[in-house]
Amino acid sequence: MPFVKEKFTVSEKIPAFLFIMRTFGFTQAQAQRLVGKGRLLIAGVSIYNSGTKLEPGEVEIVYFKAASRGEKPLFANKDFMVFEKPSGVLVHPNTMSTPYSMLDEIRHIGGDNANAVHRIDMETSGLLLASKHKQSEHYLKNAFEIKKIRKSYLAWADGELTAPFSVALPVKTNHDYSECKHKVFLHEDGKYAHTDFIPIHYDKTLDTTLVACYPLTGRTHQIRVHLFHVKHPILGDPLYGTTFETANAYLEDTLTQEERFVHTGAQRLMLHAQTLTFPYGAKYQIESKVNFGEMKALICPQAERLFNTGNIQKQPPGAAQILPHEMDH
């Protein structure tokens, strides 16, 4: 369990934030934030004022304690690390009861100031960039903001794609899940999003195409919703490549592995973060060592699939009907 509650002994009268700083080697801001979240307890009761004077005796502190499962970085130096994130693993814990995330590995190696500097969906596998200290975290997050860092992905998409194309359509967050379980959808009022796609290989037996995906922007689920829009959803996608009922079962954690296999076309979302290119003094170009193109055993045979592009979820009510003029070859 990454968040633990442990007892500590206060040996002298001391402000709460200073005790946290000395105990964990935190900055003052980090210590104040921990106390402000109610994670310092006296006699079982949380305190929230970081200036509170602690009396000698025992206190309890709830904090993140990394528990590694042995994932080693693909590349590391004194400033940052790059991991191969497995599919199904969160980057950060989404609750205090999350049993494991990539932050466990990042903090296990880099210490309390190490952090992931970008997002990857839980279902997506592949390259994850993490800083080792606050200076590199600030630099790398800013590099993402100003688009100095480029990413590419590989996806196994439903059906045959034969020529390169681009999708440049805005993405908007969905706030009404009553009729559509998509997290985002395409809408003229959304944020600009652009993805370039290059087909690499078509597998006729499985009726699926391996596609290289180059997002020029970093919107939530951008690649997934763009491929869904052109009627070639990513195999294994439980939200954008399936019916409302299947998506709802997935979100409520009632969808079995067997049902997912046949209703979404694969055992997992078949999307993989393949490359990262960025400057950090020198120019770094890092490529995944996972042979994602050979992971076809995870794909449901064509004859056994119970979904098709004719009965999957449509855009939420009120979404703009944007014509497919973006299919520019």
Return the active site residues: 121
CA distance 54 to 45: 13
DSSP letter assigned to residue 270: -
Residue 25 to residues 31, 57, 221: CA-CA distances in angstroms? 9, 20, 37
Specify whether the CB–CB gap between 277 and 285 falls below 8 A: yes
Residue 94 to residues 4, 113, 122, 200: CA-CA distances in angstroms? 15, 19, 11, 35
DSSP letter assigned to residue 311: T
Cα angle 10-14-16, degrees, rounded to a multiple of 5: 85
Q: Is 171 exposed, middle or buried (0-12, 13-18, 19+ CB in 10 A)?
A: buried
Specify whether the CB–CB gap between 324 and 230 falls below 8 A: yes
CA distance 100 to 92: 9
Strand-pairing partners, residue 69, are none
DSSP string of 146-202, one letter each residue = TT--EEEEEEEEES---S-EEEE--EEE----SS---SEEE-TTSB--EEEEEEEEE
CA distance 135 to 139: 6
DSSP string of 32-95, one letter each residue = HHHHHTT-EEETTEEE--TTPEEPSEEEEEEEE------PPPSEE-SSEEEEEEPTT--SS-SS
